[in-house]
Chains A and B, each alone.
Chain A
Amino acid sequence: MPAALLAVLLAGYGIALGGPISSALAGAAWTVRAPRAALVLWQAVCLGSGVSVIGGAVVLALGPLGRDLPSAVLRAFSDLFDGHPFDGLTGGRIVLLLAAGLAAVTLWAVLVRCFLHVSRRRVQHRRLLDLVTACRPAGAPVPMTSPAAAASLEGVRVLRHRTAVAYSVPGWHSRVVVSQGLLELLDGPELAAVLAHERAHLHSRHDLLVLPFQSWAIALGRVAGVRRSQACVVALSEMLADDVAARRSGRRTVAAALAKVAIAGHDDVAPLTGLGDFGDAARPIGHGGPVAEMRARVDRLLTPRPLGPAAVAATYALAALVVAVPVVALLGGWS
């Protein structure tokens, strides 16, 4: 097919992936039943979208220079180094080429900037945390004094605050943090479940998984599909961590811990921040869809309906296809 048609089809495919298809995937109820496969599919959609849109633009720009993308790009580079750049290209094609290059560079720059920003914030938080907290509960022994619970708190930082929170600081020097309030709220097994969840995030480096979606949602946040993709990937990684904790502590225990912490967090009037009801103020994006985080997490723990192996395999196959389409198109070339 002619280069122009291929380019338009590729661009359309890429835009569809990043827009309506992402939105559809964000609303798909089956994803919570197979979070790992769904995450792979999300990554494929993200990668496929970027490659298709930018690839399509480059094809349209460099069409006359070759029969497929590699040959056209090689020709463009050799022209550049031979001292006659943009040979055979009209003004419009040159502009398009530069625009595609700029878009690609910008996407990478946003990713790097986001990573640096997030890393800096983590370091600052961690440094203050290390000075302010100790690795053991403050004051009198807390309710859970079983050796197992005490052992599970190994290396965990305890914030002396009555608001029940648990979180981790990802990165090279990672930290798992619980508050005094959380220690008083949960029993031994529930605490162990929470710690297992946080450690799963750190061990599997979910922060790196989320980073591209986070950064490109900043750059392309106007596109609803892109925005929702970040919320979905975050939610699915939470579910993955829930599953790891559930294998260790049992699903009901993890669900109980989730419910208790969520309820306590909602009920707690936090004078220091002035936020009484988080409900409307900081609702995560994606509210209302099947991956509306909290309820979906508890429901899938209490009534798991894992996707069958055939469906899971089909999801992985679909992910491969999503990426394969633009790659084959770009390598297969045009007439």
Chain B
Amino acid sequence: MLGRGELERAVIEVLWAADGPMTAREVADALPGRELAQTTVLTVLGRLEAKHMVSRSRDGRAHSYLATASREEHTADLMRQVLDGAGDRRDALARFVGSVSADDVKALRRALDGR
């Protein structure tokens, strides 16, 4: 039995791969090798909608779902949080390397070459 997180990831990946909005049935069918009930898929879509990852619209009789942003856009968002948070007083992440000045770079290149 798959965990919550894995289900959410599987569903959002289907939506990312899609050309346009999909109904819950279409998403369920597109999920690789799984026999998931449509209600389960609907629940997962609901959770993703609550996280603003997915938007829902009425398409005739069925609701259709669309990813709000691509994986690349989300990745860029995460990267922004990592890079921009460096000078933040309430920094939440632990970066391996902070920002460096041009002088530091020169010294580091020397150190690296001297190794």
Contacts and interface: CB of A to CB of B under 8 A. Distances in A.
A41 B87 CA distance: 25
Given A159-B78, A160-B71, A266 B96 contact: no
A121 interface: yes
B93 A125 contact: yes
Nearest to A169: B93
A27 interface: no
Interface in B52-98: 53, 71-72, 74-84, 86-87, 89-98
Interface string A273-317: 101011111111001000011110011001000000000000000
A221 B92 CA distance: 18
Contacts of B81: 125
B96 A278 contact: no
B34 interface: no
A275 B112 CA distance: 25
Main secondary structure of the interface of B (DSSP, over half): helix
Contacts of A292: 104
B99 A283 contact: yes
Given A161-B75, A263-B109, A278 B99 contact: yes
A259 interface: yes
B79 A165 contact: yes
Contact of B111 (A198, A273, A280, A298): A298
Contacts of A133: 75
Given A125-B93, A282-B87, A132 B115 contact: no
Nearest to A174: B94
Given A127-B51, A179-B79, A262 B105 contact: yes
Given A284-B87, A294-B98, A259 B93 contact: no
A90 to B, nearest CB: 39
A262 B111 CA distance: 12
Interface in B1-16: 5, 8-9, 12
Interface of A: 114, 117-118, 121-122, 125, 127-134, 159-161, 163, 165-170, 177, 179, 194, 197-198, 201-202, 206-207, 214, 217-218, 221, 252, 255-256, 258-263, 265-267, 270, 272-273, 275, 277-284, 287, 292-295, 298-299, 302
Given A131-B53, A218-B90, 10 more contacts: A127-B51, A132-B74, A134-B9, A263-B112, A265-B97, A266-B104, A273-B84, A282-B87, A282-B99, A284-B98
Interface of B: 5, 8-9, 12, 51, 53, 71-72, 74-84, 86-87, 89-102, 104-105, 107-109, 111-112, 115
